[in-house]
């Protein structure tokens, strides 16, 4: 075996994260050399638009718009893929792996959707696929789950995994902004992508949860399409006041539990009690709470997004790749073997809180009670919300909240649908799971 005397990197993408990876490279050469003990060069950088102005100055001859300049270049040992799209990045990563290159990526979507396929290609070609930056920005949860928490049996993962939605919810809670205004604010501040669907509908959090649950439970790959997903678009600013009055805060939570029936995994807006460990994770921060045996509860928190912090996680993977390339070894990668059994969300049981608008009248509480009982849903309390009575088009309207005891999600969904059809129901406003 000839000893490597240099590592050549091909970087795919020079956007927010790719630009920060380059910035670190140009400004931290001494530190990089000290850590790796071997010269490292970013020899090629793939971009789409060669006319675009870049925040970082890149030497002549490094930029290319041709993927194969990198994937078919025999001198490149590590491909760092920071493109952020689905089909093209899946292709670029699999092509790089099949050309015998280590790959580092931050793309949670391709890891969670195509992880098993990509890891098989890596194994077949004796290389490794690393993805520390795909979840939690700079928090380093991936390496902790793969290498550090291994003696523990992790029973649950509970996380605020999306900085954009957490930023929006924090604005709505602290400044009583309407959802649309908080979203526009996040976009203007560059904290939300132009297309926010994956963030606000909870899909990005579900991709990350699928990765965490696969690594934490080691019961096989968790398919993200089996994760029940609700976003934050239905939350009204007055829900925050109601939540506060009851001693709760509202957060978009991604959670997975390893149960005897299989893995329960979902993403939805949740009421968290004020003293919960995740209630103070505000703004763009991410927070992850693991419950395991014997470790008990342990929390990791920090900047979940942003070019520089994410680039730090990318570099930690580059250093790891360098370590293995120099010793001709491979890191552990058997975490996506087989498919995990994910329990249907309808079979999971949670407490629910539902806000609705009704035409004020008699026997409504009684009728809601009957509907819930018919659907095997037990009610903890029905509340007439304070100061929420008004007249519209001569009709007396009022707002109510139903606090439901833990019951099967399928039963609760049916009960809510039945209430929505009742003649007194004007609108089902919002629905939250309640966690203790
Ligand atoms: N931004 C964050 O805070 C953050 C945090 C955690 C993880 N991530 C993940 O990191 C990855 C990169 O995100 P980002 O925010 O850096 O994205 P970005 O700013 O949109 O940058 C994407 C880069 O990829 C290039 N690119 C895209 N499609 C291409 C194609 N078909 N051919 C050639 N080049 C192409 C773009 O080229 P041009 O510059 O020429 O347009 C751009 O340089 C994503 O997977 C994202 O989910 C981002």
pLDDT by residue (tens digit) across 74-99?
Answer: 999 999 999 999 999 999 999 999 99
Question: Is 13 a pocket residue for ligand 1 (Cβ < 6 Å)?
Answer: yes
For 159, half-sphere exposure in the C-beta direction (CA atoms, 13 angstrom radius) is 35
Round to whole Å and give the CA distance between 188 and 60.
33
Residue 286 lies in a domain: yes
114 and 153 assigned to the same domain:
no
Beta carbons within 10 angstroms of residue 198's beta carbon? 18
pLDDT value at residue 102:
98
Q: Give the mean pLDDT of 385-406.
A: 91
pLDDT for residue 1 is more than 90: no
pLDDT value at residue 429:
92
88 and 214 assigned to the same domain:
no
Does 300 carry a binding-site annotation?
A: no
Catalytic residues: 208
189 and 283 assigned to the same domain:
yes
* CATH number of the CATH domain containing 78: 3.40.50.720
pLDDT value at residue 192:
78
Res. 128 pLDDT band, cuts 50 70 90 = very high
49 and 95 assigned to the same domain:
yes
For 271, half-sphere exposure in the C-beta direction (CA atoms, 13 angstrom radius) is 23
Q: What are the pLDDT digits (tens) for 334-368?
A: 778 899 999 999 999 999 999 999 999 899 999 99
Give the number of domains in the chain. Answer: 3
Residue 84 lies in a domain: yes
Domain span at residue 383? 345-434
The percentage of residues in the chain with a pLDDT greater than 90, rounded to a whole number, is 89
By alpha-carbon position, which residue is closest to atom 25 of ligand 1? 13
Res. 195 pLDDT band, cuts 50 70 90 = confident
Q: Which of 270, 303, 336 is the last residue of a domain?
A: 303
SS3 166: helix
Question: Is 47 a pocket residue for ligand 1 (Cβ < 6 Å)?
Answer: yes
Q: Which of 316, 359, 412, 234 is nearest to 24 (CA)?
A: 316
Res. 233 pLDDT band, cuts 50 70 90 = very high
Q: How far is the CA of 94 from the centre of ligand 1 (A)?
A: 17
Res. 54 pLDDT band, cuts 50 70 90 = very high
Q: Give the mean pLDDT of 49-55.
A: 93
Does 17 carry a binding-site annotation?
A: yes
Question: Is 164 a pocket residue for ligand 1 (Cβ < 6 Å)?
Answer: no
Q: At what angle do helices 29-36 and 16-27 cross, to 10 degrees?
A: 80
By alpha-carbon position, which residue is closest to atom 8 of ligand 1? 106
Question: Is 49 a pocket residue for ligand 1 (Cβ < 6 Å)?
Answer: yes
Q: Which of 415, 389, 388 is nearest to 402 (CA)?
A: 415
Q: How far is the CA of 83 from the centre of ligand 1 (A)?
A: 4
Q: In whole numbers, what is the pLDDT of the chain averaged over residues?
A: 95
* CATH number of the CATH domain containing 376: 3.30.70.260
pLDDT for residue 248 is more than 80: yes
pLDDT for residue 2 is more than 70: no
Does 262 carry a binding-site annotation?
A: no
Question: Is 305 a pocket residue for ligand 1 (Cβ < 6 Å)?
Answer: yes
Res. 387 pLDDT band, cuts 50 70 90 = confident
pLDDT for residue 271 is more than 80: yes
């Amino acid at each position: 075996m000839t000893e490597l005397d240099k590592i050549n990197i091909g970087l795919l993408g020079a956007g927010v994260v790719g630009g920060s990876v380059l910035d670190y490279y140009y400004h931290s050469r001494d530190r990089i050399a000290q850590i790796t003990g071997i010269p490292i060069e970013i020899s090629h950088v793939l971009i789409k638009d060669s006319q675009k102005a870049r925040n970082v100055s890149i030497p002549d001859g490094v930029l290319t718009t041709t993927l194969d300049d990198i994937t078919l270049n025999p001198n490149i040992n590590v491909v760092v893929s920071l493109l952020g799209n689905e089909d093209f990045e899946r292709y670029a990563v699999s092509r790089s792996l099949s050309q015998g290159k280590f790959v580092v990526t931050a793309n949670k979507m391709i890891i969670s959707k195509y992880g098993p396929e990509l890891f098989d290609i890596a194994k077949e070609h004796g290389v490794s696929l690393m993805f520390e930056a795909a979840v939690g920005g700079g928090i380093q949860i991936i390496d902790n789950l793969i290498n550090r928490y291994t003696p523990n049996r992790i029973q649950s993962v509970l996380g605020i995994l999306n900085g954009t939605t957490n930023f929006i919810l924090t604005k709505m809670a602290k400044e009583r902004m309407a959802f649309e205004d908080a979203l526009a604010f996040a976009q203007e501040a560059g904290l939300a992508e132009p297309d926010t669907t994956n963030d606000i509908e909870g899909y990005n959090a579900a991709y990350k949860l699928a990765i965490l649950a696969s690594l934490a439970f080691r019961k096989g790959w968790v398919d993200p399409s089996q994760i029940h997903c609700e976003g934050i678009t239905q939350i009204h600013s007055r829900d925050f006041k109601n939540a506060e009055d009851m001693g709760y805060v509202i957060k978009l939570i991604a959670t997975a539990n390893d149960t005897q029936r299989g893995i329960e995994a979902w993403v939805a807006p949740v009421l968290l009690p004020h003293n919960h460990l995740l209630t103070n994770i505000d703004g763009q921060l991410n927070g992850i709470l693991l419950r395991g045996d014997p470790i008990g509860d342990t929390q990791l928190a920090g900047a979940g997004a942003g070019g520089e912090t994410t680039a730090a996680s990318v570099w930690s993977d580059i250093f790891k790749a360098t370590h293995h390339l120099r010793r001709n070894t491979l890191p552990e990668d058997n975490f996506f073997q087989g498919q995990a059994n994910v329990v249907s969300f309808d079979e999971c049981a949670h407490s629910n809180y539902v806000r609705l608008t009704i035409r004020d009248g008699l026997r409504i509480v009684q009728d809601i009670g009957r509907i819930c009982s018919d659907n095997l849903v037990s009610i903890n309390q029905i509340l007439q919300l304070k100061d929420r009575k008004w007249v519209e088009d001569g009709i007396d309207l009022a707002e109510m909240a139903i606090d439901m005891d833990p019951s099967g999600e399928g039963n609760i969904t049916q009960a809510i649908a039945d209430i929505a059809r009742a003649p007194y129901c004007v609108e089902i406003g919002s629905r939250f799971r309640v966690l203790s």
